[in-house]
Structure 1
Amino acid sequence: MKKFDLLTPVGILVGMTAVLLAIYVNEAGDGSILDFVQVASLLVVFGGLFGALTVNFATTDLKLVPRVFKETFQTKENDLEQLIDTFVDLSTRARREGLLALEAGLEDVDDPFIQKGVLLAVDGIEPDIIKDIMMAEVVAMEERHRKGRSIIEKAGEYAPAWGMIGTLVGLVLMLQNLNDPSTLGPNMAIALLTTLYGTLMANLVFLPMANKLELSTEEEVFRKQVVVEGVIGVQSGQNPKILQEKLSAFLPNHVKDNKDEDSEELGQDE
């Protein structure tokens, strides 16, 4: 189950606060933070970035952007222990009542991927074919995630480049008006602030978000691999205890250590 990830907005806020605080401290009361707001610089960076992404990607891909950004503000609870318990229960029931009995209890399982795997097992599909079907779905999911993530990655690549383009524009304007000292400041501001905006957006927003999406995909793929192994184990009639030990190999070491400690404490209590 996904829930709102507070760390993403907090991280962005902390990064922005650090920059603004540095500006405020160095202003020493002689200027304003508003001096770092230049509409022309924003137009160059965000307008150029939007244009570059429009050229790079198809319309169908760009429609994924809102959903991709939404994903970066969500996190999924690590439920591997609960997942293993689910397959142990399914294995126990399958050995006691037969595979066909599992279909009736699938309404209690809220994961469509598990439901699909168990239904394939109930239908008597060969284990190798079940694995191929389920892994094909995993590969398709990876490709969908990769396509959405690539938009954010490209934004992270293009933003600093458009910041540099804005810098060149500002320098050209400044050199063309050397006879008018009043234009030197604004043109230099455009030159420097576009680089600041592009670099800041790339390294505080786009690239960290892309990396987070990649890690999220890796976790989801790992989880689905556990599901595939669980389904094959249930279909082959593995002993629930053996299946539990097999799937527990996917757990992080600290979780396995905690389970071992709990088992030892339970044994001592008995």
Structure 2
Amino acid sequence: MNLVSLGGTILAFVVIIVGTILKGSSIDALWNPAAFVIVFVGTAAALLVQTSSETLKRAMVMLPWVYRPPVDEARELVGRIVSWSEVSRRQGLLGLEGGIERETDPFVRKGLQLLVDGTEPDAMRSVLEVEVLTREHSDLDAAKVFENAGAYSPTMGIIGAVMGLMAVMQNLADPSKLGHGIAAAFVATIYGIGLANLLMLPIASRLKSISRGRSQMREMLVEGLVSIAQGDNPRHIESKLQGYLP
């Protein structure tokens, strides 16, 4: 659990609530069903028009990473790569065949299989780097779903505010409804700007950072497997891969 991200999300809601109270308003003033529908459903509708179903599914899969990011296995992976290089020097590349099925990551299994099959280092690098780029592109597109939501929601908030003011203008003959109507109109603006700057844009940035980290780990794996294929010394491989670690 990423307590920093969780604490930031909770703090965002606390800031809005406490700020409303300190300004002399009530918490009830923050709730407006019409504004909620316009901003949240309107933003979702815009995303549905723009985004493919595959990208939306990937975005939903990645969303929990904000609070439960994938385990950072970079240091452990360096150790495994070094052990693979030691096995290959003692038993040859075929000595790694028994460990392929024990790997849970399809990308790792694919790389080891290419290594065991005796694929040329340049060809191996070419095949694996295509997959690295494809996966990174897919993850970044999914992260941009939330970035786009952060771009649309403020506009939807303005639309909600304008629609609220239009309703107020229709009730100018009844002064008792003016104050409440104007306040309700601006709730949509709060929803739109708050959704963008307190949730969607930070989520997008967080997911992009995680995606870049995972791509870097895959690049480290590619470099390690290519080095094994080239017959490099295990200590040299370890020293090279240490450069990928923070």
Q: TM-score, normalised by structure 1?
A: 0.85
Write out per-residue CA displacement over residues 195-250 of structure 1, whole angstroms, 9 at most, x where no aligned residue.
00111111111111111110011001100010000001111111111111111121
Structure with max Cα Rg: 1
CA distance in 2, matches of 1:147, 1:110: 25
- Which moved further from structure 2: 57-66 or 222-231? 57-66
CA contact (8 A) 1:44 1:162 kept: yes
Runs of 4 or more off by more than 4 Å in structure 1?
none
Identity %: 33
Q: Does 1:102 align with 2:96?
A: yes
Write out per-residue CA displacement over residues 50-100 of structure 1, whole angstroms, 9 at most, x where no aligned residue.
Answer: 222222223444344432323333212333222111111111111111111
Q: How many residues align?
A: 246
Q: Find the counterpart in structure 2 of residue 259 from structure 1.
A: none
Which of 87, 90, 101 is matched with 2:84 structurally? Answer: 90
Find 1:184's aligned residue among 175, 178, 181: 178
Q: Which amino acid in the other structure matches residue 196 of structure 2?
A: A
Which of 197, 200, 204 is equivalent to 1:210?
204
Q: Please say if 1:12 is aligned against 2:23.
A: no
1:82-127 Cα offsets, whole Å, 9 max, x none, are 2111111111111111111111133444433222112101111111
Q: Does 37-46 or 99-108 show the bigger shift?
A: 99-108
Question: Residue type of the partner of 1:198?
Answer: G
Counterparts of 2:90 and 2:19, CA distance in 1: 67
Question: In 1, distance between residues paired with 2:171 and 2:2?
Answer: 49
Q: Which runs of 5+ in 1 are unaligned?
A: 253-270
- The whole-number CA distance in structure 2 between the counterparts of 1:147 and 1:174 is 41
Task: Indicate the residue corresponding to 2:223 in structure 1.
Answer: 229
Partner Cα distance (1:32, 1:190) in 2 = 12
Aligned-partner residue type, residue 52 of structure 1: A
The answer on 1:56 being equivalent to 2:29 is no
> Please, what TM-score do these two structures have when normalized by structure 2?
0.92
Deviation string, structure 1 residues 165-214 (Cα, Å, up to 9, x no partner):
11111222223322210221222022211000111111111111111110
